[in-house]
Amino acid sequence: MVALVDESIRLQVLLERLKAGEDRKIDAFLQEEAKLLSARLKRANLSPGQTARVEALLAEIRDTLRSLHDKRLGELRARMGELGELVADTEAKSLAAALDGWETATPKAEVLRAAVNTSPLSVRGAGGGMLLDAFLDGWASADIERVEGTIRRGYFEGRTTEQVVRDVIGTKAANYRDGIVDVSRRNARTVVHTALQHVANTARVATMKANEDVVKGYRWVSTLDSRTSEICQALDGRQFDLGEGPIPPAHPNCRSTTVPVTKTFRELGIDIDEPTAGQRASEDGPVSASLTYFEWLKTQPESFVEEALGTTRTQLFLQGGLSADEFARLQLNRNFQPITLDEMRQLAPKVFERAGVD
C-alpha cells in the first residue's frame, strides 16, 4: 500500500491556515499587553533613581502579565486539544478510505492528550527534548522577563518614562516594530507554530500506533521549496518503523509532516495489486508522491539549488557523482542531525575529489 501523501499534504495546508489564524490571536494579545504596559508606566511616572518604587512596579507588572499569559495559554491548549482530535479522526478516516473501507481505530481524547504532553519535542536547539507544557511556559516566562528587564534597565540608565514606554512598545513611526513587544511577537509565532506542528504530528503517530495491524511505518514528507531546512531536505522521503525514527517538528517553524505507510494488500491477505502512487505539492505544482526533496532538487536550475544548499554543497550535489538518495543520506549523522562539510569530507572524500572541492 502506498504512503497516503495526498491527504497528509491537504491536512498540512489546513494546519498552515490554522497557524495564520493563531498569528492574528497573538497580535491581538500583544496589543492588549502593550496598552496595559503603556498605561501602567505612564500612571506610575517614575524617575531614575527610585529603585524601590521601580521594583514595586515591576512586581505588579509581573503578576499582571503572568495572569494574561496563563489565560492565553489556557485558551491555546484547549485549541491544541481540538486540533489533536481533528487530526487523529482525519488520519483514521484516510486510512480506512485507502484500505477500501477497512475498519480503523481513532485514539480517545485522553490518549491523545497524554501522547502530546509526554512526547518530547524533537526540535533542534531551543526547546529540543522539552515537553510541550514546559516549551509554552518557557516562552511566557521569557516574554515577562524581557519586558521586566527592559523597564528596569531603562530606569537604571536614566531614561524618562516616555522613553521607557517607547523601548517597550515601540514607536508609531516604525509601526511599533522597534519595541521589545515586537520581539515577543516574533518569538510567540515561532513557539506557537512549532507547538501546533508537534501536536499534529504526535496525533498522527498516535493514530498510526492505534492501527498497527495495518500500518507498518511512516514516511517523512518535507515541503518542496527553497525555504526547506537542511535537516528536512535530508529526511524527506525517509521511511521509519513506528517508534524508531524522528518526528517533526525538527526545528523551529518546521513544516514537515508524516505519512503512514500501510501494509500492502497482499500483506493484509487481500490478493489484489496496489494502486499507483499519488501526487504531492511542490513550488512548481503537483509532482509524483514518490519524489523526494533531493530528486526534485535535481530538476531545478542551478541558481535555485544554490539558494537551497549553498555554494559548496551545490557543487558536491551536482558534480559529486552521488545519486540524490545517497547525497541525502550523507547530510545527517546517526542521530538525524545535520553534519558539517568537514564531517562530510571525512565520510566521503571521493565525493569532494570528483566535485573538485578543496
- CA 255 to CA 221: how far, in whole Å? 9
Cβ–Cβ under 8 Å, residues 221 and 280: yes
- CA 258 to CA 246: how far, in whole Å? 10
Cβ–Cβ under 8 Å, residues 1 and 99: yes
Tell me the DSSP string of 165-184: HHHHH--GGGTT-SSHHHHH
pLDDT band at 1 (very low <50, low <70, confident <90, very high): very low
Across all residues in the chain, what is the average pLDDT? 86
Cβ–Cβ under 8 Å, residues 249 and 201: yes
If one compares 326 and 161, the residue with the highest pLDDT of the two is 161
Cβ–Cβ under 8 Å, residues 3 and 278: no
Q: What is the pLDDT of residue 289?
A: 59
User: Which pTM was predicted?
Assistant: 0.80
Q: What is the pLDDT of residue 128?
A: 63
If one compares 283 and 77, the residue with the highest pLDDT of the two is 77
Q: Each residue of 334-355: pLDDT tens digit?
A: 777 788 888 888 888 888 988 8
Residue 150 has pLDDT above 50, yes or no: yes
Joined grid coordinates for residue 286: 503537483
Q: Each residue of 165-220: pLDDT tens digit?
A: 999 999 989 988 899 999 999 999 999 999 999 999 999 999 999 999 989 999 99
Angle between helix axes 51-98 and 180-210 (nearest 10 degrees) is 30
Q: Where are the domains of the chain?
A: 5-214, 220-355
Joined grid coordinates for residue 198: 508537534
Cβ partners under 8 Å of residue 245, min gap 6:
218, 220, 238, 336
Q: What is the pLDDT of residue 3?
A: 43
If one compares 268 and 84, the residue with the highest pLDDT of the two is 84
Q: What is the pLDDT of residue 2?
A: 44
3-state helix, strand and coil shares in percent for the chain, rounded to the nearest 5: 60, 5, 35
Cβ–Cβ under 8 Å, residues 87 and 11: yes
10 Å CB burial of residue 291 (0-12, 13-18, 19+) is buried
The conformational region for residue 129 under phi > 0 = left, psi -120 to 50 = alpha, else beta, is: left
- Mean pLDDT over 225-243 rounds to 89
Q: What is the pLDDT of residue 223?
A: 82
Q: What is the pLDDT of residue 185?
A: 93
Residue 303 has pLDDT above 80, yes or no: yes
Q: What is the pLDDT of residue 321?
A: 86
Identify the three-state secondary structure at position 294: helix
Instruction: Provide, rounded to the nearest whole percent, the portion of the chain with pLDDT above 70.
Output: 89
Q: Each residue of 263-286: pLDDT tens digit?
A: 776 676 666 555 555 555 455 555
Distance of CA 17 to the CA centre of its chain: 14
Cβ–Cβ under 8 Å, residues 136 and 195: yes
The region of weakest confidence among 79-88, 142-151, 263-272 is 263-272
pLDDT band at 107 (very low <50, low <70, confident <90, very high): very high
Instruction: Provide, rounded to the nearest whole percent, the portion of the chain with pLDDT above 90.
Output: 49
CA atoms within 13 A on the CB side of 339: 19
CA atoms within 13 A on the CB side of 223: 19
- 338: DSSP letter: B
Identify the three-state secondary structure at position 99: coil
